[in-house]
Amino acid sequence: MSSLNFALALCLILTQHLLTYAAAAQELTADDVSRVSLETNRPQQQAPKQITAVSNDDTEIVCDQDEIASEAAETRGLANDDNVSYRCRTGDKKLGEDNDSQRGNKELIGLRRDLLEQSGQGSEERVITLNRDNAELAGMQPSNMDQLSDIAETPDAGRGATQTRRLPFKGYVSFRANTTFTDDTVKLTDAGSRLGGIVVKKTQSGQELTGHIEIGANFFDDESGAISPDSNSIDNLDVRVLYLSYGWNGMSVEVGKNWSVYHDIAGLTDRLISLGGRAHGVYNAGTDGAAAGTGRATNSLQLRSGEGQWQWGLQGQLNTEIPDLEQSVDYKYGYAASLLWKNLAGFSVGGAFNNASVDDVTPEMQARGQTGDSSAAVLGLQWNNNLWTIAATASVTENLEADDEGQYFDSRGYELYLGYSLSDDYRFRLAYNGLQPNGNAYTGTFDLNDTYISLDYQFNSNRLADMIYLEYQWSNGQLADGSSSPDILVLGFRYNFVY
């Protein structure tokens, strides 16, 4: 059985079981909860220490048992042997968010949320009192607050959100390195080390201003495997992210270099730590997708919705230089859009497209296979809960992908991803990337057909996780010259300094 067939079969089997579980989870209604509360005739049992619920505006609420809250409930006649009180914190964590991503804008979103929490801008507290049976149900699975029929708010008893950071700034340095093993080489390489800072100011009326800069710093020389002597020189630094954002009424306008709206969908399967993410043109032609607008889009203007059930994004670009041409040629303008739907059961489905337009095709562009505008479209779906993440994406592109010799081709791509949390510290990942030329114009032999397996150990709880990881790429593809793509084993680590 080929690696693609194996990965497809495994994901289909797991998806069937998870669909059955999710369907059962959705059957819980307000009437069901009330009926369980009224009809259950069991001895009193210990309520869960923590429950998770979702409010009307799709905000996830985490509630912990609290003795002070119970004392406050007594003043309203709500405390007795059948009830239990919880202190709940509401913040910026939204519907359908998953914690299974160490790449892309998920890290940046997490840093922003931590900063809001630590500067006293992102959370507020309230107290609820539940019947013990309903508390048990809420502890078993995330529930809609409206479905818990006997919720009652009580006074806050004088305990408010704790402010631990006076300045709304967070800085970080992330040191990342790999030891890479192939058939005949062993190299110590940089794995995307970076440094950055983020500032967030949120007003009482809900308006929000964000500034973020992130600089890539290559601390290692990819050829020699030794620490680079000029690692602090300007030639060894590159701007990964640099943008300003203004948010209001659940929307935001973002200007600069930022993760693209195309990646909002393609990123559903771009979740490995060091490998993968190669089938949809996100990092096209050996770049970070800045010029084409599919990765970290430069010179971009984005309009984004908030994090509700329907999420959308629009993007425009002007005058971005096409990479690796001897005679400079620009994409004159680019445009993109994405749409993603999520539900309480953890399902997400969506699509995105991206286009970068050129005025004239030069002879040099024609010689390397570029015949016109660069375009891409991707569809994706995902299911996730606290333990599992399963996702699949598919794309078609024109004048976007290039082989290892720089020859462009139209393509069709597929990615599959499965992640499972073995514990709070250990996570297992399995993925597949497939990319094939589409049409007859391309005469090379390049073909991507890679299966990945990954295991990581995270030894802190920061948004930028310190970790040790092992990833293996089993390749059945070909390079442009007809030789086989190499298998790769990566032993890597990340260590972060966060202020």
Do 186 and 68 lie in one domain? The reply is no
Contact of 283 with 295, CB cutoff 8 Å: yes
461: number of Cβ within 10 Å: 9
Distance from C-alpha of 499 to C-alpha of 168, rounded to nearest angstrom = 11
Structure tokens at 138: 């809420």
Amino acid at 39: E
Q: What is the pLDDT of residue 266?
A: 97
Local structure of residue 269 (DSSP, 8 states): S
- Please report the DSSP string for 398-417 in residue order: EEEEE-TTS-EEEEEEEEEE
Do 139 and 179 lie in one domain? The reply is no
Last residue of a domain, one of 89, 124, 154: 154
Do 190 and 136 lie in one domain? The reply is no
98 falls within a domain: yes
SS3 8: helix
Q: Which residue has the tokens 């430069």?
A: 298
Structure tokens at 61: 């609420």
SS3 135: helix
Do 281 and 409 lie in one domain? The reply is yes
Last residue of a domain, one of 154, 189, 215: 154
pLDDT digits (tens, 9 = 90+) for 298-331: 999 999 998 788 999 999 999 999 988 888 899 9
pLDDT in tens, the chain (499 residues): 454 454 445 445 544 544 444 444 344 343 433 333 333 333 444 566 666 666 555 556 667 776 544 544 444 444 455 666 666 665 444 444 455 666 777 777 777 777 776 666 655 555 666 665 555 545 544 444 444 433 334 333 333 333 344 568 889 999 999 999 998 889 888 888 999 999 998 887 878 999 999 999 887 655 543 444 443 334 467 899 999 999 998 899 999 999 999 999 999 999 999 999 999 999 999 899 999 999 999 999 999 998 788 999 999 999 999 988 888 899 999 999 999 999 878 899 999 999 999 998 999 999 999 999 999 999 999 999 889 999 999 999 999 999 999 999 999 999 999 999 998 889 999 999 999 999 888 988 999 999 999 999 998 766 678 999 999 999 999 999 999 999 999 999 999 998 8
From 334, 326, 332, 290, select the one nearest 406 (Cα to Cα): 326
What is the C-alpha R_g of the chain? 25
SS3 279: coil
Phi (first) and psi of residue 286, to 5 degrees: 75, 15
Q: Which helix (H) or strand (E) holds 22?
A: helix 3-26
Report how far Cα 428 is from the mean position of its chain's Cα atoms.
16
Amino acid at 387: L
Q: Which residue has the tokens 């150990």?
A: 457
457 falls within a domain: yes
Could you give the angle at which helices 30-39 and 132-140 cross, rounded to 10 degrees?
130
Last residue of a domain, one of 128, 154, 180: 154
Do 320 and 415 lie in one domain? The reply is yes
Structure tokens at 264: 């909002």
Q: What is the pLDDT of residue 347?
A: 94
Do 135 and 20 lie in one domain? The reply is yes
Do 148 and 179 lie in one domain? The reply is no
Q: Which residue has the tokens 């497209």?
A: 353
Do 137 and 217 lie in one domain? The reply is no
Which residues, 6 or more positions from 340, have their beta carbon under 8 angstroms from its beta carbon? 264, 265, 310, 311, 312, 348, 349, 350
163 falls within a domain: no
pLDDT digits (tens, 9 = 90+) for 452-489: 999 999 987 666 789 999 999 999 999 999 999 999 99
Domain span at residue 467?
A: 169-498
From 185, 469, 415, 390, select the one nearest 283 (Cα to Cα): 415
Do 201 and 147 lie in one domain? The reply is no
Q: Which residue has the tokens 């539940």?
A: 130
Q: Beta partners for 489? A: 181, 472
Contact of 194 with 174, CB cutoff 8 Å: yes
Do 138 and 185 lie in one domain? The reply is no
267 falls within a domain: yes
Do 91 and 229 lie in one domain? The reply is no
Distance from C-alpha of 496 to C-alpha of 181, rounded to nearest angstrom = 24
Q: What is the pLDDT of residue 327?
A: 85
Do 108 and 191 lie in one domain? The reply is no
467 falls within a domain: yes
Distance from C-alpha of 51 to C-alpha of 55, rounded to nearest angstrom = 13
161 falls within a domain: no
Phi (first) and psi of residue 353, to 5 degrees: -140, 160
Q: What is the pLDDT of residue 235?
A: 46
Domain count along the chain: 2
319: number of Cβ within 10 Å: 12
From 317, 174, 306, select the one nearest 243 (Cα to Cα): 317
Q: What is the pLDDT of residue 83?
A: 67
